[in-house]
């Protein structure tokens, strides 16, 4: 009895492979988030606006989507998940810092496409590798843990960016906003290299042995119909789920319209010392944006870190659908609140933006682990690479029109209609998920 209990306890622990992959994501996201929250400010300094931002994010995610599907199928055929993961992380690590070398906003599209190419190659094989490294009873917990580590990196990244920005200004006495941002982006290669080395030396290949005689193909007939319906609903949801860069852009707007925060920031000794190095008021305002937005982004990811593992594990007990629906409801309500944010005075807008970012982070904590575990629940282990590839492909192909449509509406009619559309599509997706998707073992509702 004691031996059986010990074996059960051991099988329901997070394995070393999953922990190592968690650290890979932590270092990678630290590198990514040294750059990502500053992209809206960078795009503005390069003379472009919200529509260009939509094109950048939409093209980047759609590029990744195409490759996620292909790499997932190839990983099922070859059984070499780790090799594809190494190639993917390697490409992103080397390309990402090139953001600091662009001279026009449209060039960021090329860099982001190459960065997302790496993400596209690695994502499905990595998710399949996690599934192969863990007991199926704790899939939600494992994916939640992995996302928590990823978000921990997203907390560290903005803080590293602020540290680098401060050193560049105070120690190296840089005074030009664009130059300071460029150097910050280039130095993002350092945590990226830590991720690559961790992956190479500490992650082991796991999973089924592939059949050399099996053709590389993808047939929808091999998947459960409820899995395919689920993918369709997720695609619809994603059409209203524009890039988070728009939320940062919206936060920057609220910051620029409020004098209260600027007054408060000048009371902080370090910030006041940094601002004193700039004599031009416009440059001072730009630098406050550059310092504040990463702090907001780090705060956003702290909430994810705290709740992702727990809420992922909650889906193991309560069921994936219930947890996903809870997350989508949070998303819809937050977007609806952002749609009406303009109705408030500027200072209240800024305060509510902080609150909404905290609540919005819970949407990720509810959904990221549960959604991926739901994919694995539907599919045989030997098809996990293809299943995750198709899942990510569905999300990614919707990302381009989602971000471009959002950007067009935002630039033409303002933030309200753009966010309202996202909320409406989320509510529709919730109803479809409730009535048309049956979890494995669940009785159909209709």
The band of 160, judged by pLDDT with boundaries at 50, 70 and 90, is very high
Least confident of 42-46, 201-205, 312-316: 42-46
Question: pLDDT, tens digit, for every residue of 262-299?
Answer: 677 777 777 778 888 888 888 887 888 888 888 889 99
Residue 327 lies in a domain: yes
What is d(CA 440, CA 265) in angstroms, rounded to the nearest whole number?
53
> How much of the chain exceeds pLDDT 70, in percent?
92
Domain total of the chain: 1
Q: How far is CA 30 from the centre of its chain?
A: 12
Provide the pLDDT for residue 5.
Answer: 47
Q: Give me the CATH number covering residue 366.
A: 1.20.1250.20
Is the pLDDT assigned to residue 305 strictly greater than 70? yes
Residue 144 lies in a domain: yes
What is d(CA 294, CA 326) in angstroms, rounded to the nearest whole number?
28
Residue 444 lies in a domain: no
Question: pLDDT, tens digit, for every residue of 342-382?
Answer: 888 877 887 898 899 999 999 999 999 999 999 999 988 88
Count of beta carbons in the 10 Å neighbourhood of residue 408: 14
Residue 6 lies in a domain: yes
Backbone angle region of 286, left / alpha / beta, with phi > 0 → left and psi within -120 to 50 → alpha: alpha
Question: pLDDT, tens digit, for every residue of 110-158?
Answer: 898 899 899 989 998 999 999 999 988 899 999 999 999 999 999 999 9
Question: pLDDT, tens digit, for every residue of 170-187?
Answer: 999 998 999 999 999 999
Structural domain harbouring 8: 2-204+222-436
pTM score, whole prediction: 0.82
Question: pLDDT, tens digit, for every residue of 203-215?
Answer: 999 865 555 445 5
Residue 443 lies in a domain: no
Residue 446 lies in a domain: no
Residue 217 lies in a domain: no
Q: Kindly report the average pLDDT of the chain as a whole number.
A: 87
Residue 114 lies in a domain: yes
Is the pLDDT assigned to residue 190 strictly greater than 70? yes
């Amino acid at each position: 009895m004691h031996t059986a209990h010990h074996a059960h306890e051991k099988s329901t622990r997070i394995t070393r492979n999953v922990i190592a992959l968690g650290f890979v994501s932590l270092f990678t996201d630290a590198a990514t988030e040294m750059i990502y929250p500053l992209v809206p400010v960078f795009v503005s300094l390069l003379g472009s606006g919200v529509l260009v931002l939509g094109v950048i994010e939409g093209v980047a995610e759609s590029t990744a989507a195409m490759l996620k599907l292909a790499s997932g199928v190839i990983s099922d055929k070859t059984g070499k998940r780790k090799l594809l993961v190494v190639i993917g992380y390697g490409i992103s690590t080397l390309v990402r810092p090139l953001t600091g070398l662009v001279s026009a906003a449209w060039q960021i599209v090329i860099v982001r496409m190459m960065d997302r190419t790496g993400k596209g190659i690695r994502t499905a094989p990595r998710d399949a590798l996690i599934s192969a490294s863990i007991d199926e009873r704790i899939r939600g917990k494992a994916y939640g843990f992995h996302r928590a580590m990823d978000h921990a990196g997203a907390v560290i990244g903005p803080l590293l960016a602020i540290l680098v920005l401060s050193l560049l200004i105070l120690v190296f006495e840089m005074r030009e906003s664009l130059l300071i941002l460029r150097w910050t982006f280039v130095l993002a290669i350092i945590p990226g290299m830590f991720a690559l080395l961790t992956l190479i030396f500490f992650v082991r290949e796991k999973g089924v042995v592939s059949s050399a005689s099996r053709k590389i193909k993808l047939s929808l007939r091999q998947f459960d119909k409820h899995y395919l319906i689920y993918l369709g609903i997720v695609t619809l949801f994603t059409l209203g789920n524009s890039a988070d860069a728009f939320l940062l852009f919206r936060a920057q707007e609220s910051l620029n319209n409020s004098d209260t925060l600027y007054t408060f920031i000048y009371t902080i000794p370090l910030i006041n010392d940094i601002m004193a190095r700039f004599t031009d008021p416009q440059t001072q305002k730009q630098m406050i944006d550059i310092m504040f937005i990463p702090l907001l982004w780090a705060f956003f990811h702290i909430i994810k870190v705290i709740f992702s593992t727990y809420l992922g594990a909650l889906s193991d007990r309560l069921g994936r659908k219930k947890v996903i629906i809870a997350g989508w409801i949070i998303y819809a309500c937050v977007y609806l609140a952002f749609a009406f944010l303009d109705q408030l005075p500027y200072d209240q807008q800024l305060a509510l933006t902080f609150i909404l970012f905290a609540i919005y982070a819970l949407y990720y904590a509810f959904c990221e682990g549960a959604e991926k575990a739901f994919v694995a629940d539907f599919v045989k282990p030997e098809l996990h690479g293809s299943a995750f590839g198709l899942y990510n492909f569905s999300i990614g192909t919707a990302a381009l029109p989602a971000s471009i449509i959002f950007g067009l509406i935002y630039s033409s009619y303002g933030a309200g209609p753009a966010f309202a559309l996202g909320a409406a599509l989320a509510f529709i997706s919730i109803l479809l998920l409730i009535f048309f998707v049956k979890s494995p073992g669940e009785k159909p509702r209709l």
